[in-house]
Structure 1
Amino acid sequence: MASIINILCVILFVSLMSQGSLQQQCEIKDLKINQKPTGKNVNNKPEWTATISNNCICTQMNVQLSCKGFQTEEPVDPSLLSKSGDLCLINNGLPIYGFRSISFVYAWDAPFAFKTSYSEIACS
């Protein structure tokens, strides 16, 4: 009986450790940016959908993208993307929960080379 309890304790311990290690592995690189054309044109520029996906179990908030030189022929919803200098704040700084996405559309000649530059990671 004692050996069964010991085995259960080891399983519980390993389970708790693996959950903690998953959370600690979340990084800014878990934010992925994918873009695809919508098929529409705005002022003779193709429209693009940009999707920022959080491919991590943890929440990421205050997500900022490097967006120096970003231009668009149509306004972007400022609650989804607001530009300040060379940085763009995503989702008003609100959380992008684990395995969720935020998308916005813009129109320009080619997809813009957005890069993640900052996020705060929160694991519960």
Structure 2
Amino acid sequence: MAFALKYFILFLVLSMVSQGMCRCTFGDIQIRTVRTGREIAGQPEWKVTVTNTCKCLQKHVTLSCGGFAPVKPVKPWLLQPQGNTCLLIKGAALPAGATANFIYAGQPYIFRPVVSTVDPSCKN
């Protein structure tokens, strides 16, 4: 009886730990911005790479972008402004480990992930 109880508790603890590790959030979205070396209308050009570091697919990735005013706008299908936020790739899925890139010219801007939807069927 004690043997079965020990294994049941071990199973329960491992289930909770593994389930906790499976949870992805918008915090698993990494954003890297680098200067391309080009200038447009006297402003530096920047390449932004958004990477899903989670093992699960994420969609509806939304970034902060209040006050973002580039002189070379981003193509709307890549970054769609919605008030103080911007929807990445029209809300399409960003698979595990995948990246989405966009380029803009203007003052440097620090994008931050605000929200995303994690595929509910994902099991790491």
Question: Which TM-score applies when normalising by structure 1?
Answer: 0.79
State the distance in 1 between where 2:25 and 2:66 align. 23
Return the offset for 1:21: 4.9
Match of 1:102 in 2: 100
Tell whether 2:79 aligns with 1:68.
no
State the distance in 1 between where 2:114 and 2:65 align. 9
- Equivalent AA in structure 2 for residue 31 of structure 1: I
Structure 1's unaligned 5+ residue stretches are: 1-12
Tell whether 2:116 aligns with 1:119.
yes
Deviation by residue 1:58-115 (Cα, 9 ceiling, x = unmatched): 0110011111000111121111101021110001000000001000000112x20111
State the distance in 2 between where 1:80 and 1:35 align. 15
State the distance in 1 between where 2:56 and 2:18 align. 11
Structure 2's unaligned 5+ residue stretches are: 1-10
* Pairs within 5 Å for 1:83-102: 83-102=81-100
State the distance in 2 between where 1:84 and 1:56 align. 25
State the distance in 1 between where 2:73 and 2:65 align. 15
User: Percent same amino acid among aligned pairs?
Assistant: 34
State the distance in 2 between where 1:60 and 1:52 align. 12
Runs of 4+ in 1 over 3 A off after TM superposition: 17-22
Partner-residue secondary structure (3-state), 2:115: strand
* Equivalent residues, number: 109
Partner-residue secondary structure (3-state), 1:48: strand
